[in-house]
């Protein structure tokens, strides 16, 4: 993503409605669900423990998914993120252009750190270190590399802005490929798969 476009992206993510996915429930049904105040709900959780959210109804069908089996409801982004603080999320998980939203990044979003323009100053310094990988990421990367003959190696690092602990560390992925084709990751990334819900909340 263009660094100059990031503040506008995060601002839209807060202000616009997103679609949150509900766990399968015979009392809820499928498709768009109208919730009532105080209603107890369970949110769908992916196999990697993240909460899936979508920017539009069309994105529910990405990756060949059958959207007719999904129960969803629109909610303002800011309300959703405030309600699910501490949870990792993924935006449009079935799309090649999906985006991971770690809990720390969401917290920074809610406190306004990501909606300010300007990017990093020219003299900014960062440190790179070996990260503690989120659960399941190592296996997913290994599988992704094994399924793509063009990938020779995958490198992972954690980046932290020196002297500014208010900014969450960033997880960086580097791909050493034979063809050096930058579109490889966006065109070949396997979609996440849904698992039984493990998160509940009320509106």
Backbone angles phi, psi at 58, to 5 degrees: -60, -35
Per-residue confidence (pLDDT) for residue 201, from 0 to 100:
52
Residue 4 CB neighbour total at 10 angstroms: 10
Q: What string of DSSP letters covers 117-175?
A: SS-S-TT--EEEE---PPTTHHHHHHHHHHH-TTEEEEEEEEEEETT-TTSPPEEEEEE
3-12, 94-103, 113-122, 142-151: which range is least confident on average?
A: 113-122
What percentage of the chain exceeds 70 in pLDDT? 78
User: In whole angstroms, what is the distance from residue 19 CA to residue 77 CA?
Assistant: 9
User: In whole angstroms, what is the distance from residue 138 CA to residue 160 CA?
Assistant: 21
- Pick the more confident residue, 2 or 50: 50
Q: Take residue 97 and report the two structure tokens written for it.
A: 């252009």
Kindly report, residue by residue over 150-177, the tens digit of the pLDDT.
888 887 777 777 776 766 777 777 777 7
Per-residue confidence (pLDDT) for residue 50, from 0 to 100:
93
Cα 105–Cα 107–Cα 112 angle in degrees, nearest 5: 95
Per-residue confidence (pLDDT) for residue 10, from 0 to 100:
86
Which regions of the chain does DSSP assign to beta strands (E)? 17-22, 31-32, 40-46, 51-54, 71-76, 89-91, 99-101, 126-129, 151-161, 170-177, 194-202
Kindly report, residue by residue over 62-100, the tens digit of the pLDDT.
888 899 999 999 999 999 999 998 899 999 998 877 899
């Amino acid at each position: 993503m263009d660094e100059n476009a990031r503040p506008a992206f995060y601002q839209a993510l807060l202000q616009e409605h997103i679609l949150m996915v509900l766990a399968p429930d015979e009392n809820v049904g499928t498709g768009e669900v109208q919730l009532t105040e105080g209603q107890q709900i369970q949110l769908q959780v992916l196999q990697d423990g993240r909460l899936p959210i979508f920017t539009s109804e069309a994105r529910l069908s990405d990756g060949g998914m059958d959207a007719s089996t999904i129960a969803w409801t629109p909610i303002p982004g800011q309300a959703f993120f405030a309600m699910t603080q501490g949870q990792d999320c993924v935006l449009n998980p079935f799309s090649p252009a999906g985006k991971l939203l770690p809990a720390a990044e969401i917290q920074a979003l809610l406190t306004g750190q990501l909606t300010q323009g300007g990017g990093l100053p020219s003299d900014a310094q960062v440190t790179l270190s070996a990260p503690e990988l989120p659960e399941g990421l190592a296996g997913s990367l290994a599988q992704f590399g094994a399924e793509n003959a063009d990938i020779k190696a995958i490198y992972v690092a954690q980046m932290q802005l020196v002297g500014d602990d208010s900014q969450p560390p960033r997880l960086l992925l580097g791909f050493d490929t034979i063809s050096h084709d930058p579109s490889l990751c966006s065109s070949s990334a396997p979609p996440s798969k849904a698992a039984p819900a493990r998160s509940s909340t009320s509106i």
